[in-house]
Structure 1
Amino acid sequence: MQNLNEKRIRRSKQTRKRIAQIGMIRLTVHRTNSHIYAQLIDDKNGSTIVSASTLEKDLRSQLSSGGNILAAKFVGKRIAEKAIHIGIREIAFDRSGYKYHGRIKALADSAREVGLKF
């Protein structure tokens, strides 16, 4: 019998496989109780293009907690700004097997507001 994290990882592998077939740059999200992390990954080259998280110094000073919806909105805005700055506008969203609600949804919505399309 699988535990919840193993099930999430299985779902995330299925999503990554589908995104790899499309061949787009993917925005992947990881969350913990304390922080949220986002990365733009180019699977063709196997490299991380840009990243943002609640561990960045300037975000830490603005937030009381890194594990809430407000923090996710800041990270979504930051990753979108960095992506647009280097010329990336269209991406595939990889929620890493997490449900699309709460912090994951807040991050995605704030990235869309800044101008990312997915």
Structure 2
Amino acid sequence: MREGPTALAASESRTPPFYSASALAHGAARSVVEVLSGRRPLHQIRRWLSRPVAGLLTSLTRSGAPLDFRTRVNSVHACPTSSNTVEVCVVIGEPQRHRAVTLRLERRLDSGWSCTLLTLV
């Protein structure tokens, strides 16, 4: 088996889109929930966010974390809508209730994946 960047590119091309979308969705969901619950600073994930989403997260977290510190990700559902777009629904559990977060992840040609839409329900 080859090592280095060419081996990674070859393995990615053989990976079914669902598995790639699922892994991407889980990572993005976990990171966003950590920011919303105050366990992670926004600047750590800023490079993976579009300007509108970064602005939304900034305004949501400016007056304090909108989610309880004990909030956990219960489930993540990823739906690849094209080879460059994944729509994600995240069910989160807070101590007193359950909520949903929706994300839209889009592949940018120059810098990988970016969260271009975020909704906290």
- Normalised to the residue count of structure 2, the TM-score between the two structures is 0.28
Structure with higher Rg: it is: 2
Structure (1/2) with the larger helix percentage: 1
